[in-house]
Amino acid sequence: MARYKVGLETRERILEATRTLLADVGVEGITLKAITDRAGVRAGSFYNLFETKEEAVLTVVRDAITAMDPGDEASDTLEDLVNAYVTFLTEQSSMAQVYLQIAVTTTSTNEPIRKRIAKGQQYRVERFTSALLRDVPHIGAAEAKARIESLIAALNGFGIARHIDRSFDLHGHTRRMLELTTAP
């Protein structure tokens, strides 16, 4: 448990190294050597701060899931919410990358994590649905929710498409999807 300032900084360096390795190389590239090399520390330092390598990886995974959770601002329009999500996908790219990887690879052996992700997605659906109903109240709650579920899943698909092909027009497709979702 880090107490001193240098320990806290080392911890953060280790987590950042783990995160960028996950994003860059994938889970198979996560060895202790790769983490410590990237963080600029040695094994002893690592184990002073984390009990196991697994603990560091799980911390990064939890951070990524938490980072993808919507904030609690009460006054956002759907457009603001969508743009914030897309901005996150593009600007926090290693965090978003870790999140998408987890979302795809989470298996029955990782049931708690899968549920955590599903819960975050449901929360996002609720928040985006509320925002949509403020914009177009007459479409009804069930229709609004269905539209938002499509929207959010599509945005995740757009994030992946952009990863595969850098020329994918993430903002253009987001705008199109937003127009279709908010159509009266």
Q: Give the DSSP H or E segment for 16.
A: helix 5-25
Minimum CB separation of residue 9 from DNA in Å reads 7
Q: Could you give phi then psi for residue 41, rounded to 5 degrees? A: -130, 175
User: Closer to a copy of itself at the Cβ: 29 or 40?
Assistant: 29
Q: Which two tokens stand for residue 139?
A: 């479409």
User: Closer to a copy of itself at the Cβ: 10 or 61?
Assistant: 61
Instruction: Based on the shown chain and the rule CB under 8 A, indicate whether residue 164 belongs to the binding site for a copy of itself.
Output: yes
Greatest alpha-carbon pair distance for the chain in Å reads 61
Rounded to whole angstroms, the Cα distance separating 72 from 35 reads: 33
Instruction: Based on the shown chain and the rule CB under 7 A, indicate whether residue 33 belongs to the binding site for DNA.
Output: yes
The binder of DNA chosen from 22, 23, 49, 151 (CB under 7 A)? 49
Rounded to whole angstroms, the Cα distance separating 171 from 129 reads: 21
Count CB neighbours of 85 within 10 A.
Answer: 21
Q: Which residues bind a copy of itself (CB under 8 A)?
A: 23-28, 97, 100-101, 103-109, 114, 117-118, 121-122, 146-147, 149-150, 152-158, 160-161, 163-165, 168-169, 172-173, 176-177, 180
- Summarize as ranges the residues that interact with DNA (CB under 7 A): 1-8, 10, 30-33, 41-45, 47-49, 51-54
